[in-house]
Structure 1
Amino acid sequence: MLSNMLKMNILHFILLFILAETANSQNVSAILPLNKTTSWASKELYSGFFKLNSTSTLQVDFSNVNKNVSFIIFQVHSHLYNITLYNNTISRSSSVSGSNLGMYSSVKPKLDTFYVYNPNVDVNLRLFITVHGYLAADPVPGGCNMEFPIPTSPYMRTKYTKDYVLVDAPAAKDMSDVDCNTVDSVYLFFYKMYLPERHYDADNYFDGLRKMMTMDGITEFGEYIPPSGDRLRRTLSAYPGTGAVYVAVAYSASNTSAYSVYAPTTTYACAPLDDDGCELLDDFLSQLLCASLIFFGVFLCYFGHRFFKTEMYLIGLISGVIVTYILIALIADLDRPALLGVSVLSGMCFGAIWLAFWWFYGMPLFAVMLSTLNVGFLFAAIIYFGLPGGLVALQSDLNFWTLFVSVMLLTSLMFASMTFLSNILCCAILGAYATIYPMDYYFGSNLKYIVINTVRRATVPHFNKAVLSPPFEWRDALMTLLWLALAMSGFLFQHFHNRGRPPFPPPPRSVRPGVPGSYYGVSHPRRRTGVVIRPRIPEQTERTPLLA
C-alpha cells in the first residue's frame, strides 16, 4: 500500500514538473499595428515591452502598415542577456544573436514574420521592441554589409577591452547606388550618450535606448563621435562601469532630407553579471596602493612643505612609479599586480635618490623642479582628457608627445620662478589629486582617467585613434569641487603655517662650498673655505662718543 502511494506521489510530482516546464517555455505571438503617422524627426511606428519566458519564442506579425512606408527596421533589445532574432527559419543568413538586434524587411510583397527566442535557462526576459518605417528615398542601414552575418544588417556591434571600446556599423545602401559601387553615396555619423555611472538597472538602460532611437532624441541627448581613421568604426576610451548607448545615422549624399537610424547598441565596458565583472581594483595590491594614496595625499596637501625632506621622497616616489610603469609596460607583457609591484619598488629607489640629492646638495630651485614637472604632467593630462576627438594632427605620436612635453615644461618654468610659493602650490594640487584618486574609484566617478588615459596613450597600441570624450556627471562634478576645495585649503593652510619660517630647510650634509644662507633663512659666519664674514663697523664722525 505504501509502495503504491509512493509511486503515485512520484508520478504526481513528475507531472507537475512537466506542466510547470511547459508553462514556463510556452511560445507566444503578437500582431503589431504599424499605422502610426511618422515625421522627419521621428519615424517610429511602434514601441512596447514584452515579457518572454526562458527557452520560449515570440512570434511577431504586423497589420495596418502605413501606406507611405517602403521598408521597416524591426528592433529587439534585452538587458544584459543575449537573445536570438530570426525570420522565417533559423539559418546562418537569417538569424543573429545579441542583446541589441535589428532586422530589415521590405513592405512589398509582404512584411517578414520575425521570431525572438530566449535561449537563457531559468531567466525570464523583459524585451523592448520597436519598429521604424522609412520611405523609398531613405538609405537602407546595413544594406551594403560585407562583414556582419546577415546580408542586410541594420544593427551595430560593440567590442571592448580594459582600455578601449570599438563600435562598428555596416555600410548603408542608398537608393541611387543599388549595387553599392561607391562609399560616397551615404554619409555615416556616430553618436553616443552615457548612462548614469555605476547603475546597471534595466529602467536606466531602456530609458537610454529610447532616447537614442529617433532624430529628436539623438539631437537632444546624443553627442557626436568624430571619425578616427575608419569610416565604419569608432574607437573610444573605455570607462568600465559607465554604460553608454551608441547609434549611427546614415544620410543620403544626393538627398539631405533622407536618412535612416541603425538599431542602437550599448555597453558597460565590463560584464556586470560576472563576479567582480565591473570591479576595477580586483587584486589586493591595487586595493592596498589605492587606499594608501589617501593618507599620502592628505599629508602632501597640508604638510608637504613643512616636512620638506619627506616631500622630496614622496615626489620622487610618485615620479618613479609613473615612469617605471610606462617603460616596463612598453617592453614587457606583465599582469597588473606584477607591474605595479615592480613600479613601486623602482619608485622607492627613485625617491631615495631624489632625497639624497637634496640631502647633499640642497639646491631649492632644482629640488622644486620635480614637483613643478609633476604638476605640468597633470595639467597636460587634463588638457588631453578634455580635448575633442578627431584631431588628426594629434594622432601622430611625434606631434602629441611634443605638445605634451612642451606643456609640461612651460608649466614647470612658470612655477619655478617663485620657488617657495610654487612648492606649496604644487604640494596642494598633487596632494589633493592623490586624495581624490582612490575616492574616485570607490565613488564611481571618472577623474582617475585623467592620468589613466595618458598612460594608455603611452602604452596601449593604437590608442592614438581613441576618442576620449569622458563622461561628466554629478559624481564627476562633485569630485572636481572636492579637488578644488582640498587644493585651495591645502595651499592656504601651508602658506599660513609656514609664515615667518625659513623658505627651505638647510640640507643636512651639504657638500657644496659656500651655500648662500638666504635660501634657508640662516646665516653662516664661517664656511669650510675659511672665509670669515666680519661685522660691519659703523662710520665714525665728530659726534661719535670716544668710549662708544
Structure 2
Amino acid sequence: MCTWYLETKDAKPVQNVAIPLSYSERDPIPGGCNLEFDLDIDPNIYLDYNFFETTIKFAPANLGYARGAEPPPCDVGTGQESRWRLQYDVYQYFLPEGDLTEASLLQHLQRMAQVPQVKASAVKVVTLTADDKTTVSFSSLLGQGVIYNVIVRDPSLNTSAAYVPVHTYACSFESVDGNCISPGRVSTKVFFTLLALLGLFICFFGHRFWKTELFFIGFIFLGFFFYILITRLTPLEYDVRLVLTAVAGSVGGIFLVASWWRFGTLMLCMLCVGLVLGFLVSSGTFFTPLGNLKVFHDDGVYWVSFSCIALLIPVIFMGCLRILNILACGVVGSYSVVLAVDSYVSTSLSYITLNVLRRALNTGFRGAFIRVPFQTNDFLVLAVWGMLAVSGITLQIRRERGQPPFPPHPYKLWKQERERRVTNILDPSHHIPPLRERLYGRFTQIKELFQKEQPAGERTPLLL
C-alpha cells in the first residue's frame, strides 16, 4: 500500500489529478539512468521556453528488471543487451485554442499520461536513439497550450512506457502587457494596424497608385533588415526597436520612391517587389513539414535554399512585370491584414514570417521543430487572406486591361514639361512670373489685408 501526500504553498484550493500507472519487469523504466537531475529515477520532463523556442529535456531510460533485483548498469556497454537499444518517441499535443482553464488542462493531460492514449491523441514529432541528446526544441507558440510527452520503446521486447507529461503556454499569466489572455502588445497592435490599412489599399489599388506601392515595398524591405540589425546589435527595448523600425522603413520607402522619380529604374523597383513576394513564398515553403527536415537545421543550407526560392519568383515573372506587380500587391498586401489580426486574435498563419525572423535573430532556433495547430481561427483567417488576395488580383487585372503596363518616368515628364513651357510662348504657363516675384506679390496681398482702409473723399484743403 502506497500513500501520497500533496502540498501547496498557495492558500487557495488547487486542482490536481493523479493517474496510477503499472509496469511489468519487461517495460523500460523512464528516467532510470538519470545522471543530471535530482531524483535517482526521474521520469519527469523538464521544460524551458522563451520568445523563440521551447526546449524539453529528460533523463535516459533503463531496461526493465524484476522487483528486488539489481537494476542493469547504465554505461557499462553499448550493445543490444544494454539500454542503448532503447528508442524515444517525442509527442506533441495542442490544447483547444483560447482555452486557458485548469479544468481543460487537467482533462487533456489525462490523454497524455498512458502509452495507448498518447499514440491515439498526439502527433509524433521525432524519434531519438540512445546516441542522440535527450533534448528537443520546438518553436514557441505564444498563448497556445501545448502538452509534450516522451514514450520510451524497447524494440527487442516490443514494450514501452511513458514519461510524465509536461505543458506550457509560452507566456506569463501575470504580465500586464503581452500576457496569455491578450498576447499582443499595444505598440504591436498600433504598428500592424497601420501597416494593414496601407496593405489593404495596396491589395486593391497598388498597381494604379504606383508610388504608394513602392513606398509600401521599400518600408517592408528596409524595415525587416533594420529590425534584425538593431535587435542583434543593441539591447534596446522592444517598443523602441519598433519605433526605430518604423522610421527606418519609412526612409526605405521614400528612397525607393525617390529613385523611381529621378532615375526611372523599373527593373530595380520590380526586383524589390519580386523579392518581397519571393520572401513570402519562400517563408511559406519552409512553414510546411519540408522545413523540419534535418538537412535544413544547418544555417548554410537553410539560407541558401531560402534565398534561391526567393530569387526564383522575380526570375520567373521577369517577362511579365505587370502580372508580377499585381500578384505582389494582392498577396503581400492581404498578408499584412493577417499580421494585424494576429496582434488581436492569435493565429498560426503569422508564424509563416515570424519563424524566419526568429531564425535570423536566434542561432539556437535552427534546431527547433516547427509545428503549429490549425484550428477554427486559423481556417477563418486563411479564408479571409485568400479572399482578399484573389479579389485584389482579379480587380486590378480587369481594371488595368488596355492600360500602359507602368506609368511613365516622372522626372522625364517633368523635364519635357519644363522645356515645353520655355519654348512655347503661346502657352499661358510660359508667362508665369518667377517664383521670387510670385512670393513677393502674395506677401503684398497679405500685407494689404492688415492695412486700414482709407476713407473716400477729398481731404486736401481748398486754397482761396
Q: TM-score range by the shorter chain?
A: 0.7 to 0.9
Task: Tell which deviates more after alignment, 293-302 or 202-211.
Answer: 202-211
Structure 2 match to 1:195: 95
**SS of corresponding position for 1:132:** coil
Structure 1 match to 2:171: 270
The residue correspondences of 1:327-476 to structure 2 (distance < 5 A) are 327-388=229-290, 391-476=293-378
Q: CA deviation at 1:292?
A: 0.8
Structure 1 distance, partners of 2:363, 2:238, is: 17
Contact 2:291 2:370 in 1 (8 A): yes
Specify whether residues 513 and 296 from structure 1 end up closer, same or farther in structure 2 by C-alpha distance, changes over 3 A only: closer
Structure 2 distance, partners of 1:180, 1:254, is: 17
- Aligned-residue identity in percent: 28
The residue correspondences of 1:108-127 to structure 2 (distance < 5 A) are 112-121=2-11, 123-127=12-16
**SS of corresponding position for 2:401:** coil
**SS of corresponding position for 2:92:** strand
Specify whether residues 220 and 227 from structure 1 end up closer, same or farther in structure 2 by C-alpha distance, changes over 3 A only: closer
Q: CA deviation at 1:513?
A: 11
What CA deviation, in whole Å up to 9, does each residue of 1:282-306 have, x standing for no partner? 3x43221022122111111011111
Structure 2 match to 1:489: 391
The residue correspondences of 1:306-317 to structure 2 (distance < 5 A) are 306-317=208-219
Structure 2 match to 1:501: 403
Q: Residue 162 of structure 1 aligns to which amino acid in structure 2?
A: F
Contact 2:143 2:169 in 1 (8 A): yes
The residue correspondences of 1:3-14 to structure 2 (distance < 5 A) are none
Contact 1:388 1:467 in 2 (8 A): no
Q: CA deviation at 1:390?
A: 5.0
Specify whether residues 250 and 512 from structure 1 end up closer, same or farther in structure 2 by C-alpha distance, changes over 3 A only: farther
Q: CA deviation at 1:204?
A: 2.4
**SS of corresponding position for 1:130:** coil
Structure 2 match to 1:161: 50
Contact 1:375 1:426 in 2 (8 A): yes
Task: Tell which deviates more after alignment, 463-472 or 342-351.
Answer: 342-351
Q: CA deviation at 1:273?
A: 4.3
**SS of corresponding position for 1:288:** helix
**SS of corresponding position for 1:246:** strand
Structure 2 match to 1:532: none
Q: Residue 114 of structure 2 aligns to which amino acid in structure 1?
A: T
What CA deviation, in whole Å up to 9, does each residue of 1:343-397 have, x standing for no partner? 2221111111111111122233332221111010001111111135652221111
Structure 2 match to 1:92: none
Structure 1 match to 2:107: 207
Q: CA deviation at 1:495?
A: 1.6
Specify whether residues 202 and 440 from structure 1 end up closer, same or farther in structure 2 by C-alpha distance, changes over 3 A only: same
Structure 2 match to 1:136: 25
Contact 1:164 1:466 in 2 (8 A): yes
Structure 1 distance, partners of 2:133, 2:291, is: 14
Contact 1:192 1:223 in 2 (8 A): yes
Q: CA deviation at 1:240?
A: 0.8
Higher relative contact order (CA 8 A, sep 6+): 2
Task: Tell which deviates more after alignment, 504-513 or 389-398.
Answer: 504-513
Structure 2 distance, partners of 1:196, 1:133, is: 30
Q: CA deviation at 1:476?
A: 1.1
Structure 2 match to 1:46: none
Task: Tell which deviates more after alignment, 322-331 or 133-142.
Answer: 322-331
Larger relative helix fraction: 2
Specify whether residues 216 and 253 from structure 1 end up closer, same or farther in structure 2 by C-alpha distance, changes over 3 A only: closer
Structure 2 distance, partners of 1:167, 1:373, is: 36
Contact 2:47 2:166 in 1 (8 A): yes
Contact 2:188 2:343 in 1 (8 A): no
What CA deviation, in whole Å up to 9, does each residue of 1:318-340 have, x standing for no partner? 11110111122232232211222
Residue of structure 2 aligned with 1:218, choices 118, 137, 154: 118
Q: Residue 260 of structure 2 aligns to which amino acid in structure 1?
A: W
Structure 2 distance, partners of 1:376, 1:436, is: 18
Q: Residue 272 of structure 1 aligns to which amino acid in structure 2?
A: F
Specify whether residues 460 and 266 from structure 1 end up closer, same or farther in structure 2 by C-alpha distance, changes over 3 A only: same
**SS of corresponding position for 1:226:** strand
Specify whether residues 401 and 227 from structure 1 end up closer, same or farther in structure 2 by C-alpha distance, changes over 3 A only: farther
Specify whether residues 299 and 390 from structure 1 end up closer, same or farther in structure 2 by C-alpha distance, changes over 3 A only: closer
Structure 2 distance, partners of 1:147, 1:390, is: 28
Structure 1 match to 2:431: none
**SS of corresponding position for 1:295:** helix
The residue correspondences of 1:180-329 to structure 2 (distance < 5 A) are 180-181=74-75, 182=78, 184-226=84-126, 230-255=132-157, 257-276=158-177, 277-278=179-180, 279-282=182-185, 284-329=186-231
Structure 2 distance, partners of 1:300, 1:171, is: 54
Contact 2:203 2:393 in 1 (8 A): yes
**SS of corresponding position for 2:28:** coil
Q: Residue 486 of structure 1 aligns to which amino acid in structure 2?
A: L
Q: Residue 468 of structure 1 aligns to which amino acid in structure 2?
A: I
Structure 2 match to 1:178: 72
Contact 1:441 1:448 in 2 (8 A): no
Structure 1 distance, partners of 2:403, 2:290, is: 45
Structure 2 distance, partners of 1:398, 1:348, is: 31
What CA deviation, in whole Å up to 9, does each residue of 1:211-235 have, x standing for no partner? 2222332222211122699531110
Q: Residue 379 of structure 1 aligns to which amino acid in structure 2?
A: V
Structure 1 distance, partners of 2:319, 2:289, is: 28
Contact 1:389 1:469 in 2 (8 A): no
Larger relative strand fraction: 1
Q: Residue 338 of structure 1 aligns to which amino acid in structure 2?
A: V
Structure 2 distance, partners of 1:343, 1:195, is: 34
Q: Which runs of 5+ in 1 are unaligned?
A: 1-61, 63-111, 515-525, 527-548
TM-score by length of 1: 0.70
CA RMSD of aligned residues (A): 2.3
Q: Residue 204 of structure 1 aligns to which amino acid in structure 2?
A: S
Specify whether residues 291 and 230 from structure 1 end up closer, same or farther in structure 2 by C-alpha distance, changes over 3 A only: farther
Structure 1 distance, partners of 2:191, 2:364, is: 29
The residue correspondences of 1:47-62 to structure 2 (distance < 5 A) are 62=1
Q: Residue 96 of structure 2 aligns to which amino acid in structure 1?
A: P
Q: Residue 398 of structure 1 aligns to which amino acid in structure 2?
A: G
Contact 2:297 2:367 in 1 (8 A): yes
Specify whether residues 306 and 366 from structure 1 end up closer, same or farther in structure 2 by C-alpha distance, changes over 3 A only: same
What CA deviation, in whole Å up to 9, does each residue of 1:466-517 have, x standing for no partner? 1111221121121111111100000111122223322211121039999xxx
Structure 1 distance, partners of 2:346, 2:100, is: 12
Structure 2 distance, partners of 1:238, 1:230, is: 22
Structure 2 distance, partners of 1:356, 1:422, is: 21
Q: Residue 159 of structure 2 aligns to which amino acid in structure 1?
A: A
